[in-house]
Structure 1
Amino acid sequence: MKSLIVYCSEYKSNTEKIARIFAEKTDCELINIRNVKDVSDINIENYNLIGFGSGVYRESISPKLVKLVDKLNLTGKNVFVFSTSGAGMKYYNNNLIKLLDKKAAIYRGSFACKGSFNAREFTDKKIFEFMGKLSEGHPNDRDLKKAEKFFATVLDSL
C-alpha cells in the first residue's frame, strides 16, 4: 500500500514532527506544501492512503492546504487529517474534514495534539500567553506515541 502525507508546517515544525512519525511507520512520501508551486505537481493517483496535516494558524487550518485539497480529485481516496495547535483540539480539523467529505473521499479519522508556540508573536491577550506556556515542549514523546497509535488505527481500518 502506498501512502502520502501532504502537510503545511510553517511556524515551528510541530506538524512536520507528526508527519515524520507517520512516514517512519509506513515509509510513505511526505510533501510540505511550501515546496509545491502548482497542484499539478502532486500526483495522488498511485496512493491508497493520503493524510493531510496542518498547523493551526489564527484558529484555522492553513488556507494553502485547504485550497490545495479543494483542487484535488479525491473521489474514493482513503484520507485522514491531523493538526497541531496551542490547544491541541480536533475541532480545528472540522472544516477540512467537511471539505474532504464534499470531495467524496473516504474519511478514516482525525488526530490533533498540542504544538508549541510563542503567544507574544501573535497577540497580547493573556489567555493565549497562558496557552503558550501549557504548549511548551509539544509535540512531546507522549504526543508522538498517540500519533503512532492513531496512525495504526487508520491503517487497521483499511
Structure 2
Amino acid sequence: MKSLIIYCSSYKNNTEKIARVFSEKMDSELINIKDITDVNIISYNLIGFGSGVYKESLSPKLFELAEKLDLKNKNVFVFSTSGIGMTFYNKKLIKLLMAKGAVNIGSFACKGNFIAREFSNNKLFDYIGRLSQGHPNDRDFKYAERFIERVLDSLEKNSKNK
C-alpha cells in the first residue's frame, strides 16, 4: 500500500514529530506543506493530513490544498497537535475531505509544547501552556503508533471484504 502524509508544522515542529512516527510505521512519503503548492495523489491508497493548531484552527494552507485535490474514494486520516490535544480541531478538515469524496479512516490528536506568553496574557493559556511542556512525549508517540496500527488494520480488513 502506498501512503502519503502531508503536514504543516511551523511553530515548534510538534506536528512534524508525530508525522514522522506515522511515516516510519507506514513507510510512507512525508511532505511538509511549505515545500509544495500541488501534489499528485493518484497512486496513493492512504493520505494523512496533519497540522498544528493555529488560532483555534488547522493550517489554512492545508485547507487550500485539500480544496484543490481530487479525493474521491481516497482513504484519509487527520491529525493535529495543540496545547490541549483534542480531536475536535480536526472536524472542520474532516468535513471538507469527506465533502470532496474522501473516506475518513481516523482522527488523532495529542498535546504539543507551546509557550503561552507568545500568544496571550490570559492566565488560562499560561496554565494550559505549562501542562503542554514536554509534549509530544514518549507516551504520545506510542499512542500515535497504536492509532496508525488501527488505521492500517482497518484498511486491511476493508480490502479483504471487497
TM-score by length of 1: 0.97
Q: Which residue of 2 aligns with 1:129?
A: 126
SS state of the match for residue 95, structure 1?
A: helix
Q: Which residue of 2 aligns with 1:71?
A: 68
Distance between the aligned counterparts of 1:71 and 1:126, measured in 2? 40
Correspondent of 2:94 among 82, 90, 97: 97
Distance between the aligned counterparts of 2:118 and 2:143, measured in 1? 28
Distance between the aligned counterparts of 2:35 and 2:120, measured in 1? 28
Quote the sequence identity (%). 66
Note the aligned Cα RMSD (angstroms).
Answer: 0.5
Structure 2 letter corresponding to 1:70:
E
Distance between the aligned counterparts of 2:43 and 2:101, measured in 1? 17
Distance between the aligned counterparts of 2:23 and 2:77, measured in 1? 14
Q: Which residue of 2 aligns with 1:80?
A: 77
Kindly indicate whether residue 35 of structure 2 is the aligned counterpart of residue 35 of structure 1: yes
Specify every segment of 5 or more residues in structure 1 that has no aligned partner in the other structure, as ranges.
none
Shift of 1:86: 0.1
SS state of the match for residue 76, structure 1?
A: coil
Kindly indicate whether residue 63 of structure 2 is the aligned counterpart of residue 47 of structure 1: no
Q: Which runs of 4+ in 1 moved over 6 A?
A: none
SS state of the match for residue 127, structure 2?
A: helix
Kindly indicate whether residue 117 of structure 2 is the aligned counterpart of residue 120 of structure 1: yes
Specify every segment of 5 or more residues in structure 2 that has no aligned partner in the other structure, as ranges.
156-162
Distance between the aligned counterparts of 2:134 and 2:19, measured in 1? 17
Q: Which residue of 2 aligns with 1:7?
A: 7
SS state of the match for residue 54, structure 1?
A: strand
Q: Which residue of 2 aligns with 1:20?
A: 20
Shift of 1:44: 0.5
Distance between the aligned counterparts of 1:23 and 1:63, measured in 2? 23
Structure 1 letter corresponding to 2:20:
R
Distance between the aligned counterparts of 2:41 and 2:53, measured in 1? 24
Distance between the aligned counterparts of 1:25 and 1:35, measured in 2? 22
Shift of 1:27: 1.2
Distance between the aligned counterparts of 2:88 and 2:25, measured in 1? 26
